């Protein structure tokens, strides 16, 4: 299987710019909402390999996407560590047993990926079989820093007072926590790779809330450890790894030095500017503003053309939004996006 998506990340020739979309299997699709309803709740959907496969495949049936991404949640690891993940309607993820003392951090143990997280690697296997080589499958994880924010705050947060307070006041415990998470993530991504993931991505949703020194010490350092620890070659294939720090455009040079293959960008930086800063060291993923999908098809096509024209070169660009697709987007607009990327980038 030769894939534009994998080739773009490895800077090999491509036939056109590949595209996939963050949260492409999501609430904007009526068939997703139906499967989720059938599952009962979001976590059951994540934990049922057959249902996770069903929703992973849905956007591929509708759109000419160049990659599939495992349907899962970024918080599976802390859940497997015993923190009790649950979702309360309209409020996002929560933990029933957040890390509330330093002793909680000291007592935290690495879960056995092949056991507590078998439902994830099982989902990878089922999806891989269902894909049948059509497009590559992306595995993923949250970054250690991002997982730590949820584990310490107990859920989403407005100003990250607890986790940042811990970081500033008890950096040693913070490092202990991040190190345990990084080690677990290495096992977790390797499990996904062994089960068939063709590429992996690390989502650092909250790294952009740090200052530069803290970003380097508490987020990027552990993503770099992960990049170094995972199987980049498996069964004769190179497994590219992409890092995404939302709001991390200031630190592109440092991220590109991590050893990763691809850097995903939100829409606040132009691809051409990113290229002029980091050269050809890594491939770039991104970076249309997701809100463009609220505009008309004609406007979507114009904005797609703009993003494509900002990238200089025939490979090394994976098109995507700069953040997940919103639940209230018209699926027809997603089709316009995917098709126009292919139309305007045919070599």
Residue numbers annotated as active site = 23, 27, 36, 73, 150
Out of 12, 299, 305, 335, the only residue in the binding site for its own copies (CB under 8 A) is: 299
Q: Which of 303, 333, 337, 345 binds its own copies (CB under 8 A)?
A: 303
Largest CA distance in the chain: 57
Q: Determine phi and psi for 185, rounding to 5 degrees.
A: -60, -40
Nearer to its own copies, 11 or 323 (CB): 323
Q: At what angle do helices 49-62 and 30-39 cross, to 10 degrees?
A: 170
Minimum CB distance to its own copies smaller for 158 or for 347: 158
Q: How far is the C-alpha of 345 from the C-alpha of 91, rounded, in Å?
A: 39
Q: Are 264 and 320 in contact (CB under 8 A)?
A: yes
Which residues 136-165 are close enough to bind its own copies by CB under 8 A? 159-161, 164-165
Is residue 210 near its own copies by the rule CB under 8 A? yes
Query: Taking the complex as a whole, how short is the minimal distance between the CB of residue 160 and its own copies, in angstroms?
Result: 6
- Pick the closer one to its own copies by CB: 119 or 160: 160
Q: According to the binding rule CB under 8 A, does residue 254 interact with its own copies?
A: no
Residue 326 interacts with its own copies (CB under 8 A)?
yes
For its own copies, give the closer residue by CB, 15 or 168.
168
Residues 257-286 that bind its own copies (CB under 8 A): 267-270, 273
Report how many residues bind its own copies under the rule CB under 8 A: 35
Q: Does 42 bind its own copies (CB under 8 A)?
A: no
The nearest distance, CB 344 to its own copies, in angstroms, is: 18
Task: Quote the CA–CA distance of 217 and 171 in Å, as a whole number.
Answer: 10
Structure tokens at 112: 């056995």
Nearer to its own copies, 115 or 328 (CB): 328
The first and second tokens of residue 340, run together, are: 């126009």
Which residue do the tokens 């607009």 mark? 333
Tell me how crowded residue 118 is: count the other CB atoms within 10 A of its CB. 15
Which helix (DSSP H) or strand (DSSP E) does residue 194 occupy? Answer: helix 171-195
Residue 312 as a binder of its own copies (CB under 8 A): the answer is: no
Interacting residue with its own copies among 156, 276, 280, 296 (CB under 8 A): 296
Q: How far is CA 190 from the centre of its chain?
A: 16
Figure out which of the listed residues 30, 129, 168, 309 binds its own copies, where binding follows CB under 8 A.
168
Q: Is 211 among the residues that bind its own copies (CB under 8 A)?
A: yes
Q: Indicate whether 87 belongs to the interface with its own copies (CB under 8 A).
A: no
Which one of 40-48, 69-77, 119-127, 321-329 is the stretch in contact with its own copies (CB under 8 A)?
321-329
Please tell me whether residue 313 adopts helix, strand or coil conformation: coil
Binding to its own copies by residue 208, rule CB under 8 A? yes
100 contacts its own copies (rule: CB under 8 A) = no
- Residue 1 contacts residue 324 (beta carbons within 8 Å): no
Q: Is 326 helix (H, G, I), strand (E, B) or coil?
A: coil
Give the pair of three-digit tokens for residue 224.
Answer: 């770099």
Radius of gyration of the chain (CA): 19
Listed in sequence order, the residues at least 6 apart from 338 whose beta carbon sits closer than 8 Å to its beta carbon are: 19, 21, 63, 64, 65
**Residue 57 binding its own copies, by CB under 8 A:** no
Dihedrals phi, psi of 320, to nearest 5 degrees: -165, 170
Q: Which residues bind its own copies (CB under 8 A)?
A: 159-161, 164-165, 168-169, 208-214, 247, 249-250, 267-270, 273, 289-292, 294-296, 299, 303, 306, 322, 326, 328
């Amino acid at each position: 299987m030769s894939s534009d998506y994998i080739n773009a990340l490895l800077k090999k020739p491509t036939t056109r710019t590949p595209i996939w979309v963050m949260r492409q299997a999501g609430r904007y699709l009526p068939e997703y909402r139906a499967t989720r309803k059938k599952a009962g709740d979001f976590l059951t959907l994540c934990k049922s390999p057959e249902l996770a496969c069903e929703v992973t495949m849905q956007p591929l049936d509708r759109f000419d996407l160049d990659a599939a991404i495992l349907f899962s949640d970024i918080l599976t690891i802390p859940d497997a560590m015993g923190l009790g993940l649950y979702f309360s309607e309209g409020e996002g993820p929560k933990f029933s047993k957040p890390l509330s003392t330093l002793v909680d951090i000291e007592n935290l143990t690495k879960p056995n990926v092949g056991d507590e997280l078998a439902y994830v690697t099982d989902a990878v296997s089922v999806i891989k079989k269902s894909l049948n080589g059509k497009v590559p499958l992306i595995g993923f994880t949250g970054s250690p820093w991002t997982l730590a924010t949820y584990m310490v705050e107990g859920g989403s947060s407005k100003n990250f007072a607890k986790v940042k307070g811990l970081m500033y006041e008890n950096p040693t415990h913070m490092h202990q926590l991040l190190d345990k998470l990084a080690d677990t993530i290495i096992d977790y991504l390797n499990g996904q790779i062994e089960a068939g993931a063709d590429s992996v991505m690390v989502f650092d949703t909250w790294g952009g809330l740090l200052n530069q020194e803290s970003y380097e010490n508490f987020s990027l350092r552990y993503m770099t450890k992960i990049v170094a620890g995972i199987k980049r070659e498996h069964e004769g294939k190179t497994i590219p790894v992409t890092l995404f720090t939302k709001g991390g455009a200031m630190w592109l040079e440092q991220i590109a030095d991590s050893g990763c293959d691809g850097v995903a960008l939100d829409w606040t930086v132009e691809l051409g500017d990113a290229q002029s800063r980091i050269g050809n060291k890594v491939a770039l993923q991104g970076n249309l503003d997701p809100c463009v999908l609220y505009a008309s098809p004609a406007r979507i096509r114009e904005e797609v053309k703009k993003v494509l024209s900002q990238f200089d070169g025939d490979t090394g660009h994976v098109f995507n939004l700069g953040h997940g697709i919103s639940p209230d987007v018209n699926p027809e607009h997603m089709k316009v996006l995917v098709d126009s990327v292919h139309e305007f980038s045919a070599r």
